Structure 1
């Protein structure tokens, strides 16, 4: 189900909760910048579709292009944070999971210092409270499978 929250009043960033199966256990990709863990995401550029922005950000930040959006274009958004910003997340599976932290030309370094593929319990420990509902939404969909059944 698509969120009904309006993003018109906020700065919108878009990203993807990326999952892959390891030994039948869903593992989620988290990226660390300083001491903050998040899913791959970034600002939607003027004239850019949020879904396209989310895919671009996963490529720029984690080097992943093999995303399969098994759950369609449904998304969840965070409540407003920072200076009037919200983050919209889609859910996709990565088939190979080979992450590469690309150099950001503006920064002269990668935007993130570390990545981890973690199970849901590990993700809960690392993510801030604002991202916990996003993780719960994604993990619920993943555990139900592609056809909505457990």
Structure 2
């Protein structure tokens, strides 16, 4: 049996024009949210924060909902992605160069509504998006 690989990421929300928008990232043709593998002895939430900072340049993130999370169903040889919910009220997204790759990990980013995110992200994200939307409610 293949061991489970648990990655950690964030559903990053920002209030735009009176409604929540999610940050999504594109690598080639695939849309995703900021996430990655924890380093040895690193807990999931700090890993999610670090990966988001490394992939987007966003460092001012508010964990309004604490350590609540949801996980995807297993995909790609048993991988599971654990997502926490964060608010980014300010700051510009950048796509910094990855030291390992020598180029940015992603090609594009977008702030999209939950409905747009459901259209662009793989179906494994549907329960994550539904959870995030129910947790967030209306922006304040």
Q: Calculate the TM-score normalised by the size of structure 1.
A: 0.88
- In 2, the alpha carbon distance for the partners of 1:83 and 1:144 equals 36
Compute the displacement of 1:60 (Å): 0.4
Query: 3-state SS of the aligned residue for 2:137?
Result: helix
Within the candidate set 51, 62, 69, 2:45 is matched to: 51
Within the candidate set 83, 88, 96, 2:77 is matched to: 83
Compute the displacement of 1:25 (Å): 1.0
After TM superposition, the structure 1 = structure 2 runs for residues 86-105 of structure 1, keeping only pairs within 5 Å, are: 86-105=80-99
Q: Which runs of 5+ in 1 are unaligned?
A: 1-8
Query: 3-state SS of the aligned residue for 1:133?
Result: helix
1:127 aligns with 2:121: yes
TM-superposition CA deviations, 1:127-146 (whole Å, max 9, x none):
11101110110011111668
Within the candidate set 13, 25, 38, 2:7 is matched to: 13
Q: Which runs of 5+ in 2 are unaligned?
A: none
- In 2, the alpha carbon distance for the partners of 1:132 and 1:63 equals 26
Query: 3-state SS of the aligned residue for 2:119?
Result: helix
Compute the displacement of 1:56 (Å): 0.2
> RMSD of aligned C-alpha atoms?
1.3
TM-superposition CA deviations, 1:81-137 (whole Å, max 9, x none):
112210000000001141010100110100000000001111111011101110110
- In 1, the alpha carbon distance for the partners of 2:11 and 2:128 equals 8
- In 2, the alpha carbon distance for the partners of 1:145 and 1:21 equals 6
Decide whether aligned partners of structure 1 residues 145 and 26 sit closer, same or farther in structure 2, where only a CA change above 3 A counts: closer
Q: Calculate the TM-score normalised by the size of structure 2.
A: 0.94
- In 2, the alpha carbon distance for the partners of 1:100 and 1:145 equals 24
Within the candidate set 53, 56, 62, 2:56 is matched to: 62
